[in-house]
């Protein structure tokens, strides 16, 4: 079940990676793969809702992972907001996500809404995936583990065509901003899990 939950959550990233490499379009994947995968995750959480809410429960991985991922994504964006207001193109990918998922550039409010929703779905996916993995440890290193997780994911993303695809400059300023933002994401994710789950049995 651990690998099922991890794999279903990872499909949020597969949606984008498949677009990069020409395996599928985000529109196809977002319409026909992500919705049923999300529904299955919700069903798994509901099915295990009456079990002990410990670190071995799929309910905990999915529900706590979702909450932690959303909180961390908000912290990530709040950290980047001052730089965006000064002209850094850190939010430009979100409407592009929306365009790719909708297959259209209008209406703009819907494009932005869908793009931002997909952005937060990636935050949720990272939370679920991390919690499913880290709960293998008898005493999970939530904070250190989440920081390493966030930085590794960002490093791997930079090895894909992500920057070139969205026209982002891979200069020292951009790299510093994106790596520190993911550091904030990892700290927020780990701090939430440590506060809520540190005493939960593995």
Q: What is the pLDDT of residue 1?
A: 95
How high is the mean pLDDT of the chain?
96
Q: What is the pLDDT of residue 171?
A: 93
Tokens of 86: 């000064």
Say how far apart CA 150 and CA 114 lie, in whole Å. Answer: 23
The three-class DSSP label of residue 48 is coil
Q: What is the pLDDT of residue 202?
A: 66
For residue 83, how many other CB atoms are within 10 A of its CB?
17
Tokens of 161: 């065509």
Tokens of 81: 């907001």
Q: Residue 173 pLDDT more than 80?
A: yes
Question: Among 91, 99, 127, which residue's Cα sits nearest to residue 10?
Answer: 127
CA 191 from centre of chain: 16
Per-residue pLDDT reduced to its tens digit, 77-127: 999 999 999 999 999 999 999 999 999 999 999 999 999 999 999 999 999
CA dihedral 105, 120, 12, 57 (to 10 degrees): -160
Q: What is the pLDDT of residue 198?
A: 85
Taking CB atoms within 8 Å and a gap of at least 24, the contacts of 91-99 are: 92/166, 92/167, 92/168, 93/119, 93/166, 93/168, 94/118, 94/119, 96/166, 97/16, 97/26
Q: Residue 135 pLDDT more than 90?
A: yes
Question: Which residues fall within 8 angstroms of residue 61, CB to CB, at 6 or more apart?
Answer: 2, 5, 128, 131, 132, 135
Per-residue pLDDT reduced to its tens digit, 14-51: 999 999 999 999 999 999 999 999 999 999 999 999 99
Say how far apart CA 137 and CA 144 lie, in whole Å. Answer: 13
Secondary structure letter of residue 104 according to DSSP: S
């Amino acid at each position: 079940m651990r690998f099922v939950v991890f794999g279903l959550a990872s499909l949020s990233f597969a949606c984008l990676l498949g677009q990069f490499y020409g395996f599928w379009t985000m529109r196809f994947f977002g319409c026909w793969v992500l919705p049923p995968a999300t529904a299955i995750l919700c069903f798994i959480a509901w099915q295990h809702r009456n079990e002990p809410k410990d670190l071995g429960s799929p309910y905990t991985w999915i529900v706590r992972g979702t909450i932690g991922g959303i909180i961390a994504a908000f912290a990530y964006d709040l950290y980047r907001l001052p730089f965006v207001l000064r002209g850094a193109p850190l939010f430009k990918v979100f409407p592009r996500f929306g365009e790719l998922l909708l297959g259209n550039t209008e209406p703009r409010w819907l494009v932005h809404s869908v793009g931002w929703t997909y952005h937060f779905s990636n935050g949720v996916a990272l939370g679920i995936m991390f919690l499913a993995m880290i709960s293998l440890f008898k005493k999970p290193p939530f904070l250190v583990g989440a920081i390493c997780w966030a930085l590794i994911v960002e490093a791997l993303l930079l090895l894909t065509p992500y920057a070139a695809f969205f026209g982002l400059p891979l200069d020292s300023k951009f790299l510093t901003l994106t790596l520190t933002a993911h550091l904030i994401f990892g700290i927020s994710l780990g701090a939430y899990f440590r506060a809520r789950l540190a005493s939960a049995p593995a």
